[in-house]
Amino acid sequence: MRFREIVVEKAVIPKLASTKRDEAIAELVDALVAAKTIAKKERDEFLKAVIAREKRGSTGFGHGVAVPHVKSPTVERLAVAIGISPDGVDFNALDRKPVHSIFLLLSPEHRPEDHLEAMELIFGQLRHERFRNFLRQATTTAAVITLLEEADASRPAR
């Protein structure tokens, strides 16, 4: 699995407008709707599901990153939206720090192994401070995509 296969380029937001969790998630869901990854009529349902999941336990796992996610029976392919927040979003993170990089992950419900593989891919990079810093400092979609392509290139094929 590669970032370029799962990240929806039109759903990369280099500067999130909101610093509130639910609003930031809404920005990312709306970007996926605009990119036609999510049908318009499913927008509210997805948003509600992602927020409900956050309320059960924050996906702000520390180090300024959060990976909100939802599994859906209507999603055919795994899709990721990325939001960068220079100001930081209050995600109720486990380490209480504001979140600067958000990876919103939509996974097909019937393919739990894809979901786990995507988590591995994402955290395989997010654990590196260098990657987190570059991502946080990216100011354009192109800069984010370049960073992801570099990450893809650094992974051994398997």
Partner 1 sequence: MPSIRVTIANRLGLHARPATAFAQTAGGFSASVKVRRTDGQEWVDGKSIMQMLMLAATAGTVLEIATEGGDAADAANALRALVERQFDED
Q: Which residues have a catalytic role annotated?
A: 69
What CA–CA distance (Å, rounded) separates 28 from 33? 9
Coil vs helix vs strand at 50: helix
Contact residue for partner 1 among 6, 31, 67, 75 (CB under 8 A): 67
Query: Rg of the chain over CA atoms, in angstroms?
Result: 14
What span, in angstroms and rounded, lies between the C-alpha atoms of 122 and 6?
11
Q: Does 98 participate in binding partner 1 (rule CB under 8 A)?
A: no
What is the distance between the alpha carbons of residues 58 and 55, in angstroms, rounded to a whole number?
A: 7
Q: Compare residues 115 and 143 and give the one whose CB is closer to partner 1.
A: 115
- Is residue 119 at the binding interface for partner 1, with CB under 8 A as the rule? yes
**84: β partners:** 101
Total residues contacting partner 1 by CB under 8 A comes to 20
Sign for the pseudo-dihedral over CA of 62, 66, 72, 76: negative
The amino acid occupying position 66 is A
The pattern of x and - marking residues 26 through 65 that bind partner 1 according to CB under 8 A reads ------------------------------xx-x-xxx--
Half-sphere exposure (Cβ direction) of 4: Cα atoms closer than 13 Å = 10
| Cβ 134 to partner 1 shortest distance, Å | 17
Q: Do 141 and 9 form a contact (C-beta atoms < 8 A)? A: yes
Question: From the CB of 121, what's the least distance to partner 1, in Å?
Answer: 9
Among 26, 126, 138, 151, which residue interacts with partner 1 (rule: CB under 8 A)?
A: 126
56/130 with CB nearer partner 1: 56
Nearer to partner 1, 41 or 113 (CB): 113
156 is an interface residue for partner 1 by CB under 8 A? no
DSSP-derived secondary structure letter, 157:
P
Residues that bind partner 1 (CB under 8 A): 56-57, 59, 61-63, 67, 69, 94, 112-113, 115-117, 119-120, 123-124, 126-127
